[in-house]
């Protein structure tokens, strides 16, 4: 499924292949804009910056697309403690994490002060519960004194379940 929403400015990662890496994630895939492949991305996993290559030989078009992505990434990363440091790579890293979370068969969620974007940790229910079942469980008495947030593919982020209670009933 390709994300064609305006989440992350319409940018997403498709055809992602990843495999460990020594200092950075080793991967390759395509940066898409509203579902259309616009840039081929890769990293060899040895600590270098990501590589951005055109998907065709139209270099002027590639330079414009790359410049637009850099501008969006700079604005997206402006409030980060790492603002101005490889903003494009940081946004690609986020888009990779979003793609990986979207691949999960079990629905991930966070409790209380968990911060997936800082430490990569999340929780999942045992078994094969649907998203609706997870939201219903997190709205139940067992989690009444907790602050649960569930992964939302459309938003590309973890959303509080309190706002999702009406959707699942």
pLDDT tens per residue across all 169 residues of the chain = 444 457 899 999 999 998 877 778 889 999 999 999 999 999 988 888 999 999 987 889 999 999 999 999 999 998 888 887 889 999 999 999 999 999 999 999 999 999 999 999 999 988 888 899 999 999 989 888 999 999 998 889 999 988 665 444 3
- DSSP-assigned letter for residue 107: P
* DSSP-H helix ranges across 19-105: 59-76, 87-103
24-28: long-range pairs with CB below 8 Å, 24+: 24/48, 25/93, 25/96, 27/96
Q: Is 168 helix (H, G, I), strand (E, B) or coil?
A: helix
pTM: 0.83
């Amino acid at each position: 499924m390709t994300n064609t929403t305006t989440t992350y400015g319409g940018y997403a990662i498709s055809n992602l292949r990843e495999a460990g890496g020594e200092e950075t994630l080793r991967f390759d895939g395509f940066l898409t804009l509203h579902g259309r492949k616009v840039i081929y991305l890769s990293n060899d996993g040895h600590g270098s910056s990501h590589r951005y290559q055109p998907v065709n030989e139209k270099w002027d078009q590639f330079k414009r697309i790359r410049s637009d992505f850099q501008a969006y990434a700079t604005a997206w990363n402006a409030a980060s403690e790492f603002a101005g440091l490889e903003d494009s790579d940081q946004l690609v890293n986020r888009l990779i994490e979003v793609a990986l979370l979207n691949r999960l068969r079990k629905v991930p969620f966070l409790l209380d002060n968990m911060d997936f974007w800082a430490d990569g940790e999340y929780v999942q229910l045992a078994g094969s519960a649907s998203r609706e079942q997870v939201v219903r469980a997190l709205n139940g008495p067992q989690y009444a004194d907790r602050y649960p947030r569930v992964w939302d593919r459309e938003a590309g982020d973890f959303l509080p379940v309190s706002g999702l209670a009406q959707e699942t009933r």
